[in-house]
Structure 1
Amino acid sequence: MKFPSILLLTLLLVGCKEKPKPVVTSIPRPVISADGSRITFSDSVMMRAFTTQPVHSAAIQTDFSAPGHVAAMVLRSGENPSERLVLFDDPSLSDNYTAILQHRINIQTERGNLERVKDLQAHGAASGKEVIEAQTQLANEEAAIISDEATLKLAGFDPVALRRAAPNTILVVCEIPENQFGSIRKGLVCTLNFTAFPNERFAGRIDNVNDYVDNTTRQIKLRISVANPDGRLKAGMFATVEFGVTEGQFMTVLRDAVVTVQGRDYVFIKTGPELIERRAVQLGQQRADRVVVQSGLRENDQVVAANVLQLKGLSFGY
């Protein structure tokens, strides 16, 4: 019979047909913003690997310190013991301070000259033009001294305080973050450790707090006076200034939540169900496995605490 043969042939033909290939779907990749600061995932499942911890302010104790350098030395003048000789580590500041001293002399001279010309005019021996010229000379000197004083103040020095500074004293300039300004005041005692004398501590006192905050760094300059009777401390030396223990409300994050790129510190914040953002932060002292965050975070920010290096690679293209 032919029927079995036909059935067998049909079964063979069906079996030889090509099986359909499985459909391969590509794994969705996160979308990175042009500057790398925003990472958007395709779904919430991919976000599960990046667990977060909310940050809160808490009462802790932290040592507050800042780098500084000896910007000037104050000595007694050999020619005039009542005057102060100030040696700056920056020659341009020496020029400014010398110019201020000369302007002070010139102003006294021009004031005397103006009074003399006014007196001569009152007696008919000088003209109004001569009075105007004398007034102009005085005004020019007063304007010039203001310019030089402003330059010194921007560098952390008060010209009046320099003239009154005790001989055999060094003046250390350091900068502190804006958010630490509340714990700093004039007259505060601090401790300094100089690179040249690592095993010694020197007592200092804050003489001046600058009147402005740097627009770029958000830092405020301080000037600290330190007794230097034996002359061991020299202009240009580097120091670490310790302001003692500060108690207050601080935010902290896990040290492993922080990544450092080109000298700057960052954390990653979950800001949406499928969105993570990079945030620059300024760090303070480290306590065990946590580090104080002085600026860059807000209360209840959700900081990513796991697989942070993966986010670093996505954000910075590493």
Structure 2
Amino acid sequence: MKVFHILFIALFLFTSCKDKAKPVTQAIPRPTVSPDGVRISFPDSAMIRSFATEPTHSETIRTDFAAPGHVAAMVLKSSENPSERLVLFDDPSLSNNYTAILQHRINIQTERGNLERVKDLQVHGAASGKEVIEAQTRLANEEAAIIADEATLKLAGFDPEELRHARPNTILVVCEIPENQFGMITKGLPCILNFTSFPNERFPGRIDNVNDYVDNTTRQIKLRISVPNPDGRLKAGMFATVAFGVTEGNFMTVSRDAVVTVQGRDYVFVKTAPLVIERRAVQLGQQRAGRIVVLSGLKENEPVTVVNTMQLKGLSFGY
């Protein structure tokens, strides 16, 4: 009888435990990252609070202003025509543009002479008005074509007329500077270049040209710098850093802890809404006392993350 009671009690307890509702496991909220990794949205203020920010601000400092550049062209003397320059571009399409300009110049001279000849024949009754119009059209087409090719070269930082008279055994370096640094740059300004291929050497250069437009997307201005290359060591396509000397001015800075670098590019994370942080590409200058000069990419008083930025880097880039 006792055995029966014990079995009954055990069965009752087992059934009671089985009927109890199982506790529901709550999912841990996680940030939401946009497909391109630029925008990180947080589920609540408690989670985003761990990514403390500080506003950007400008201050008066002395800094070595520098910008990345590359050898966009080499100038050599033409062996076939010493009066012309042989220009070797790192971009084959620019070579085509420059060659087309030289050909258009020849064609324009030819068509101008032809137009004068046809006009003279018309005066003497040996040519019709139609022939004059055709000659005018051919000349106009050549003049329009050369304008298009010249515009392409100028957008790349080259003046076709200056290329024709450039000094042989010279390389032409193109670099870009932020719009807010443009006031310190003038044509003829000397500069020093350090090439990746020759890290322990410094090469003197001079600014030959400041482009006439600012890129609408990057807000950068192209500069063209000529560097003597008598021994031919410097080649088209080489990368360089162009230093413009020590300058004093009002520069925006951020904490060194705000910056992350991925594949050679620098980024910061900006809080753009109460629960949103966005990745921002920046161009940096010199570092001074734990702060880094920001040449472009940020505005005054934007809240930049300075704590746990490596976690944001992992979320943004999927590391």
Query: Structure 1 length as normaliser, TM-score?
Result: 0.80
1:42 aligns with one of 41, 44, 56: 44
- Partner of 2:137: helix, strand, or coil? helix
Post-superposition shift, 1:248? Answer: 1.6
Corresponding residue of 1:56: 57
Query: Partner residue of 1:244?
Result: 245
* Counterpart residue type for residue 94 of structure 1: S
Of 125-134 and 190-199, more deviation after overlay is shown by 190-199
Q: Distance in 1 between the 2:96 and 2:311 partners?
A: 53
Give, as a single letter, the amino acid of the residue that structure 2 aligns with 1:233: L
The alpha-carbon deviation at position 195 of structure 1 amounts to: 2.8
CA deviation digits over 1:44-74, x for unaligned, max 9?
x555533332321101122222222222222
Q: Which residue is equivalent to 1:292? A: 293
SS in 1 for 2:201: coil
Share of identical aligned residues, percent? 76
Residue in 1 that maps onto 2:234: 233
Alpha-carbon distance between aligned partners in 1 of 2:92 and 2:237, rounded to the nearest angstrom: 12
Structure 2 residue aligned with 1:140: 141
Query: What secondary structure, in the 3-state scheme, does the structure 2 residue paired with 1:191 have?
Result: strand
Contact 1:39–1:315 (Cα < 8 Å) also in 2: no
Whether the aligned pair in 1 keeps the contact of 2:260 and 2:268 (CA below 8 Å) is: yes
Alignment match, 1:283: 283
> Secondary structure in 1 aligned to 2:65?
strand
Partner of 1:10: none
Number of aligned residue pairs: give it: 298
Residue 10 of structure 2: aligned partner: none
Partners of 1:25 and 1:154 lie apart in 2 by 61
1:15 corresponds to: none
Deviation at 1:118, TM superposition (A): 1.0
How big is the alpha-carbon RMSD for the aligned residues of Structure 1 and Structure 2?
3.1
Contact 1:204 1:226 in 2 (8 A): yes
1:280 CA displacement: 0.2
Q: 2:277 corresponds to which letter in structure 1?
A: E
Letter in 2 for 1:42: D
Contact 1:171 1:225 in 2 (8 A): yes
1:96 and 1:123 mapped to 2: Cα distance?
40
> CA shift at 1:138, angstroms?
0.7
For structure 1, which segment, 63-72 or 141-150, has the greater mean C-alpha deviation from structure 2 after superposition?
63-72
Establish whether residue 201 from structure 1 lines up as the match of residue 202 from structure 2. Answer: yes
Q: Is 1:66–1:241's contact at 8 Å kept on the other side of the alignment?
A: yes
Quote the offset at 1:186 in angstroms.
1.8
Q: Please, what TM-score do these two structures have when normalized by structure 2?
A: 0.80
Is this contact kept in 2: 1:76–1:167, CA < 8 A?
yes
2:41 is equivalent to residue 66 of structure 1: no
Are 1:114 and 1:134, in contact at CA under 8 Å, matched by a contact in 2?
A: yes
CA change 1:311–1:165 in 2 (3 A) is closer
The reply on whether 1:29 has 2:25 as its aligned counterpart is no
CA 1:143/1:30 → structure 2, altered by over 3 Å: closer, same or farther?
same
| Cα separation, 1, equivalents of 2:283 and 2:77 | 41
Q: Work out whether residues 281 and 293 of structure 1, in 8 Å CA contact, stay in contact via their aligned partners in 2.
A: no
SS of the residue 1:200 aligns to: strand
Q: Structure 1: how far apart are the matches of 2:92 and 2:271? A: 50
The answer on whether the counterparts of 2:44 and 2:275 sit within 8 Å (CA) in structure 1 is: no
CA distance in 1, matches of 2:248, 2:72: 30
Structure 2 CA distance for partners of 1:204 and 1:264, relative to 1, 3 Å: closer
Q: Is the 8 A contact 2:259 2:268 kept in 1?
A: yes
Q: 1:296 to 1:162 in 2, by over 3 A?
A: closer
Partner of 2:108: 107
- Name the counterpart of 1:128: 129
Q: Distance in 2 between matches of 1:94 and 1:42?
A: 56
CA contact (8 A) 1:264 1:280 kept: no
Q: Which residue of 1 aligns with 2:93?
A: 92
For the structure 1 residues 58 and 112, does the alpha-carbon distance in structure 2 shift closer, same or farther, using more than 3 Å as the test?
A: same
Mapped to 1, the partners of 2:79 and 2:312 lie a distance apart of 63
The structure with the larger Rg is 1
Q: Is the 8 A contact 1:61 1:247 kept in 2?
A: yes
- C-alpha displacement of 1:31: 5.4
Instruction: Return structure 1 stretches of 4+ with deviation > 6 angstroms.
Output: none
